[in-house]
Chain A
Amino acid sequence: MARARGQSIGEGLKTPHTVSLKVLRLTRPSLAQQFPLPKANSDSVYDFSPSAGLAYPHSTPLATNFLLTPLLTLPESFQSAYVGEVFSCTLSANNELPADDTARSISGVRIAAEIVSPSNPSGVALDLEEPVTPASSSFAPGASLQRILRLNLQEEGDHTLAVTVTYTETAVGTEGRAAGGRVRTFRKLYQFIATNLISVRTKAGDVDGGRYALEAQLENLGERAVTMEAVRMNPKSPFTSHSLNWDMPGATQTDAPVLQPGDIMQVAFLLEELQGEDTGQEVPASSPAADKRFILGQLNVQWRSAMGDRGSISTGWLTGKKR
Chain B
Amino acid sequence: MASHLQPPPVSKNARGHVRVTSEDRRRITALRRSTKGPLDEVDDPLSIASPTSPELLSPETYKTQSLSPRASLSLDVPKDFTFLLEPANFTPLSTPLLKHALSDSTSSLSLSDLLATGRFHTAAVRAASDLSALPPTADAATILPLWYVRLASLTLIHETTIAAQESKILGDLSSPFYRLPPIEDGPGEHIVPWGLRVLAVRLQALGFGEPRRGLMAYYLLASDAREAAARARASQRQAEMRLWQTRLRELGVLVASALVEMGEGQAAARHLRSLKGRGREEVGMEILTWLRMGDLSAAAACLADWENSSEGEDKVDEDGFVSKVLKALIATCEGEYAAVVKDWQALHDEYPDDVMILQNLAVCQMYTCEMEKSRDAFEKIIADDTAAVFPSLLFNMASLYELSSENAQMLKTELASRISASGPSGEERTKIELKL
Interface residues of A (CB under 8 A from B): 20, 22-24, 26, 28-29, 31-32, 35, 37-49, 52-58, 60-62, 64-75, 90, 92, 94, 96, 129-132, 135, 142-144, 146-148, 223, 225-227, 229, 254-256, 258, 260-263, 303-310
**A-B residue pairs in contact (CB < 8 Å), sample of 29:** A23-B403, A26-B367, A31-B292, A35-B202, A40-B247, A44-B195, A46-B112, A46-B148, A54-B390, A56-B356, A56-B390, A58-B355, A62-B284, A62-B322, A64-B285, A66-B256, A70-B288, A75-B399, A96-B405, A132-B368, A132-B369, A143-B372, A229-B297, A255-B266, A260-B263, A261-B23, A262-B26, A308-B334, A310-B335
CB distance from B147 to the nearest CB of A (A): 11
The answer to whether B404 and A144 have CB atoms under 8 Å apart is yes
The answer to whether B193 and A44 have CB atoms under 8 Å apart is yes
Q: Answer whether residue B329 sits at the interface, using C-beta atoms and an 8 A cutoff.
A: yes
Q: Residue on B with the closest CB to A95? A: B405
Which B residues touch A256, using CB under 8 A? 295, 297-298
Q: Answer whether residue B14 sits at the interface, using C-beta atoms and an 8 A cutoff.
A: no
- State which of B96-104, B152-160, B175-183 sits at the interface with chain A: B152-160
The answer to whether B156 and A225 have CB atoms under 8 Å apart is no
The answer to whether B390 and A57 have CB atoms under 8 Å apart is yes
Q: Residue on B with the closest CB to A256? A: B295
The answer to whether A60 and B354 have CB atoms under 8 Å apart is yes
Q: Residue on B with the closest CB to A67? A: B257
CB distance from A99 to the nearest CB of B (A): 11
Give Cα distance in the complex from A144 to B25, angstroms: 43
Give Cα distance in the complex from A57 to B370, angstroms: 27
The answer to whether A255 and B295 have CB atoms under 8 Å apart is yes
> Which of B326, B363, B402 lies at the interface centre, i.e. has the most chain A CB atoms within 10 A of its CB?
B363
Q: Answer whether residue B243 sits at the interface, using C-beta atoms and an 8 A cutoff.
A: yes
Give Cα distance in the complex from A170 to B391, angstroms: 41
The answer to whether A31 and B26 have CB atoms under 8 Å apart is no
Q: Residue on A with the closest CB to B279? A: A61
A226 with B294, Cβ < 8 A, contacts A41-B194, A47-B112, A70-B325 known = yes
The answer to whether A39 and B360 have CB atoms under 8 Å apart is no
Give Cα distance in the complex from A130 to B354, angstroms: 29
The answer to whether B281 and A64 have CB atoms under 8 Å apart is yes
The answer to whether A55 and B296 have CB atoms under 8 Å apart is no
Which A residues touch B254, using CB under 8 A? 65
Give Cα distance in the complex from A258 to B262, angstroms: 14
The answer to whether A131 and B369 have CB atoms under 8 Å apart is yes
The answer to whether B322 and A61 have CB atoms under 8 Å apart is yes
Q: Answer whether residue B213 sits at the interface, using C-beta atoms and an 8 A cutoff.
A: no
CB distance from A96 to the nearest CB of B (A): 5
Give Cα distance in the complex from A47 to B202, angstroms: 20
The answer to whether B367 and A37 have CB atoms under 8 Å apart is no
Q: Residue on A with the closest CB to B293? A: A227
CB distance from B244 to the nearest CB of A (A): 8
The interface bits of chain B over 79-120 (1 if a CB of A lies within 8 angstroms of the residue's CB, else 0) are 000000000000000000000000000000001100110101
Q: Answer whether residue B216 sits at the interface, using C-beta atoms and an 8 A cutoff.
A: no
